[in-house]
Amino acid sequence: AQKITQTQPGMFVQEKEAVTLDCTYDTSDQSYGLFWYKQPSSGEMIFLIYQGSYDEQNATEGRYSLNFQKARKSANLVISASQLGDSAMYFCAMRAAIQGAQKLVFGQGTRLTINP
Amino acid sequence: DTGVSQDPRHKITKRGQNVTFRCDPISEHNRLYWYRQTLGQGPEFLTYFQNEAQLEKSRLLSDRFSAERPKGSFSTLEIQRTEQGDSAMYLCASSHWGTGDRGYTFGSGTRLTVV
């Protein structure tokens, strides 16, 4: 079974600093995908970035990058030049196969607070 | 494309009452998922539809829960005889088989409080 572990319940960062949110995963699948989502207080899950297990390059999306270390089974999210609007819950997730499609298995999340 | 819509946004109900939530996915998405998120936790998978067929159900989905997607468009999630432990955010997501791994789009959720 797939499992996602996020060990940082909360992070506090000064505006404009970079921040790294940790994520480790466990799976016996050879092919898998890893996601990061942002959940503001409004409740919606917002897709940030995706990394496939066979992707050789680390994924980047604007200010977001994913530090993928396959041997260590880690997929940390790096946010550069943090902004006040980045304050939210952040969830790491893994794709797990179900009949005909795939579900997402989520970690417990990290609450990020950006201080002015 | 107005995204995934969920109704209501908030629901307060007394223990023992039945509640029903609605999810309207993105119109061209043929896959629809329900997740439950309790306070301080990540979302947990409940069930999945491809078109109108319910193809997967989690063990979290007890007999008091039923989900439908009658015409392969909107979906409803009903909870009968609600219990305090049912208090959670219920999230709906949709995707299309051709949209790959970026394709999951979530709604804003229905927050259920059982008193």
User: Does residue B8 or residue A97 have the better pLDDT?
Assistant: B8
| Per-residue confidence (pLDDT) for residue A95, from 0 to 100 | 84
| Per-residue confidence (pLDDT) for residue B71, from 0 to 100 | 86
Mean pLDDT is lowest, of A32-46, A70-84, A90-104, for A90-104
Tokens of A39: 């959940």
| Per-residue confidence (pLDDT) for residue B100, from 0 to 100 | 58
Chain A CB within 8 Å of residue B96 CB: no
Q: Do B31 and A101 touch (CB under 8 A)?
A: yes
- Extended beta strands in A1-116, E state: 3-5, 10-14, 19-21, 24-26, 33-39, 46-52, 60-61, 64-69, 74-79, 88-98, 101-106, 110-115
Tokens of B49: 């539809």
Among residues of chain A, what percentage have pLDDT more than 90? 77
User: How many cross-chain Cβ pairs, A to B, lie less than 8 Å apart?
Assistant: 65
Q: Please report which confidence band the pLDDT of residue A101 belongs to, taking 50, 70 and 90 as the band edges.
A: low
Q: Do B42 and A106 touch (CB under 8 A)?
A: yes
Q: Please report which confidence band the pLDDT of residue A32 belongs to, taking 50, 70 and 90 as the band edges.
A: confident
Distance from CA of A48 to the nearest CA of B (A): 9
Minimal CA–CA distance to A38: which of A114, A116, A115, A112?
A112
> Per-block average pLDDT, block size 10, for chain B (115 residues)?
89 98 93 94 93 89 94 94 97 79 83 97
Q: What are phi and psi of A47, to 5 degrees?
A: -65, 135
| Per-residue confidence (pLDDT) for residue A100, from 0 to 100 | 61
Average pLDDT over chain A, rounded to whole? 92
| Per-residue confidence (pLDDT) for residue B103, from 0 to 100 | 63
The per-residue pLDDT for range A53-95, each reduced to its tens digit, is 888 899 999 999 999 999 999 999 999 999 999 999 999 999 8
**Which residues, in sequence order, are bridge partners of residue A104?**
A95
Chain B partners of A103 at a C-beta cutoff of 8 Å? Answer: 33, 45, 48, 56
| Per-residue confidence (pLDDT) for residue A93, from 0 to 100 | 95
Distance from CA of A31 to the nearest CA of B (A): 13
What mean pLDDT do residues A7-16 have? 96
Average pLDDT over chain B, rounded to whole? 91
DSSP 8-state class, residue B101? G
Chain B CB within 8 Å of residue A99 CB: yes
